[in-house]
Structure 1
Amino acid sequence: MVLTGTCQHLLKSSLDKAFTIKDLGAMKYFIGIEVFRNTHGTFLSQRKYISDIVQEFQLSHDKPVTTPLPKGLGLSTDVGQVLEHPEKYRQLVGRLLYLNITRPDLSYTTQHLSQFLSCPREPHMQAALHVVKYLKNTVDLGLYYSANCDLHLQGYSDADWSSCVFSCKSLSAYCMFLGSHLVSWKTKKQKTVSKSSAEAEYRSMSSAASEMVWLRVYCKI
């Protein structure tokens, strides 16, 4: 259990009386997330989690790559041999989805690969393994939160019009910053087909505005 707040002593005392807890001190590692803290700020990463993925899929000796997906990649639902063991692909994509906690650069990639979970094929698996090779090259990346920052909420949105070759639907994407710190992000296929790039952009802006309202009202930012 992770406890945060300004009155941790009182909370720990109450929990100890009810359940008899053991205080493990400041958090350093929790469900695959590594936490490095000092007086200047906090850095979150999943370096060990990435190393475990690389070893599990036997890519320790493969050459790292510089992009999450190959340039010009065109994946299809009916091209390539169907995987004999599709659970390996689903397991890998699931692990990549969990990396989104500290790796927003994988947001689009994981959204794209998740489209083929029902019937993964060989090209899909090769693309997923390409992502692992990219992670080998960027294992030290993560999220940094300074102890001193401007608490001004700002957001950015974008859209990729008619990017889905199967349905002609567009992609919406947004990211929210508290000062200079990234606190929320998403890449998601739009529910309906947009007839123009302007319509796709407005739908993306609407999604971003909803997220900003939620952060201000429910998270008190």
Structure 2
Amino acid sequence: MDVPPGYREDIAANTVCKLKKALYGLKQSPRAWFGRFTKVMVGLGFKQSQVDHTLFVKHSESGGVTVLLVYMNDIIVTGDDEEEQQMLSQHLAKEFEIKTLGKLKYFLAIEVAQSKKGIFISQQKYITDLLQETGKTTCKPACTPIDPNIKLGNAEEDVVVNKEMYQRLVGKLIYLSHTRPDVAFAVSLVSQFMHQPKEIHLQAALRIVQYLKGTPGRGILFERNGSVGLEAYTDADYAGSIMDRRSTTGYCTFLGGNRVTWKSKKQSVVSRSSAEAEFRAMAQGIFELLWLKSILEDLRIKSDKPMKLYCDNKSAISIAHNPVQHDRTKYIEVDRHFIKEKLDSGLICTPYVSSQGNLADLLTKGLNDNNFERIVFKIKFINTGKDDI
């Protein structure tokens, strides 16, 4: 602790400070800690990314790179410059009390396995704990996370369930969807009823847990390959919500053939046509691609090829290329100009993909067993209990 600025030194020599509140009790403590951490990292020659402020990158004169990612007091360090990594560890040990845990195996409840094939991430232990907490360890597994025929609404006449219990369960499922794109749509759906959950909503959430019972070891394999091409699949379920008739946006992005990000979320406004709903989803997909491109630029990884944005709606693609259709675009003018600008610059291209080949279908609607497993197989979503990584 330092003496507060402006305090007389002659008095400070014979006095002590009374601590009224610990650092961890202050609302600004995370910001204060991260501010100091950032100052130390910049002093060591690292550059803070402007698209992800928790990412720090340093390129050495020899051509090597060291990357550091921080979340609260958990840190991942990687790169191809081992000497720089050792120096970083020594400098951080002088400034902070740290513990080096060696090769990455577990980070924020995410299990990491590395092999010659690539890197595999999953949350098997997290799922096992969730099954025990909900009493579903001996339940019959479900084939899919949500019944494709179910339409969840407010269910005013249904029985009210414990709100805190429901919020805790759905909160755990939301964190699980960070590594499980197969449950992202179902989790997005049940999370819309946090304020007043009913029995039908609870049963839908428990259906997700039952699905997890049969696939606890499923995770994503990031395979090694020489490609750094970026592409995205976008889709929208037009007027899918029976409460307000808003559509659901779904997109997933791939880097070198490996799925890296995904999202399933109800749109903020009502779309007046399926093309309009798909167009809004396309805009969200482009935002994500541009963000990933900026991350790669921080790592000095560049590709001259245009980023591919796959869409299964020919009308939306036509609107993106033809600005003359005013009657069909006046409600989405900002998105239209944004997409047209990226197309004209050659940064983005919009190839058509059939509905059967659109991998974002998984994020916009409930699917039957066959279609669900077909998409899961295409995105390299494997089960450690059955597949060899």
The TM-score bracket by the shorter chain reads: over 0.9
State the shift of 1:218 in Å.
4.2
Report if aligned partners of 1:2, 1:27 keep a CA contact under 8 Å in 2.
no
Contact (CA 8 Å) 1:149, 1:180: kept in 2 or not?
Answer: no
CA distance in 1, matches of 2:142, 2:216: 12
Equivalent position of 1:160 in the other structure: 237
2:223 to 117, 127, 146: 146
Task: List aligned pairs for 1:187-198, cutoff 5 A.
Answer: 187-198=264-275
C-alpha displacement at 1:74, in angstroms? 2.2
In structure 2, what is the Cα distance between the partners aligned to 1:72 and 1:93?
Answer: 21
Q: Normalising by structure 1, report the TM-score.
A: 0.95
Give the Cα separation in 1 of the matches to 2:148 and 2:232. Answer: 28
| Residues 196-216 of structure 1: CA deviation (Å, up to 9, x unaligned) | 101111111011111111211
Aligned residue number for residue 70 of structure 1:
147
- Equivalents in 2 of 1:121, 1:219: separation in Å? 44
Shift of 1:28: 1.1
Task: Structure 1: give runs of 5+ residues left out of the alignment.
Answer: none
Contact 1:40 1:148 in 2 (8 A): no
In the alignment, is residue 110 of structure 1 matched against residue 187 of structure 2? yes
Q: How does 1:31-110 map to 2 (within 5 A)?
A: 31-77=108-154, 78-83=156-161, 85-110=162-187
Greater gyration radius: 2
Work out whether residues 152 and 242 of structure 2, in 8 Å CA contact, stay in contact via their aligned partners in 1.
no
Q: Is the 8 A contact 1:173 1:204 kept in 2?
A: yes
State the shift of 1:146 in Å.
1.8
Q: Which moved more, 1:30-39 or 1:129-138?
A: 30-39
Partner residue of 1:14 out of 79, 91, 97: 91
TM-score by length of 2: 0.55
Q: Decide which of 55, 59, 78 is 1:5's aligned counterpart.
A: 78
Count matched residues: 220
CA distance in 1, matches of 2:195, 2:151: 18
The residue matched to 2:185 in structure 1 has which SS? helix
1:121 Cα deviation after fit:
0.7
Gaps of 5+ in 2: 1-73, 302-389
For 1:5, the aligned partner's letter is T
Larger RCO: Structure 1 or Structure 2 (Cα < 8 Å, ≥ 6 residues apart)? 1
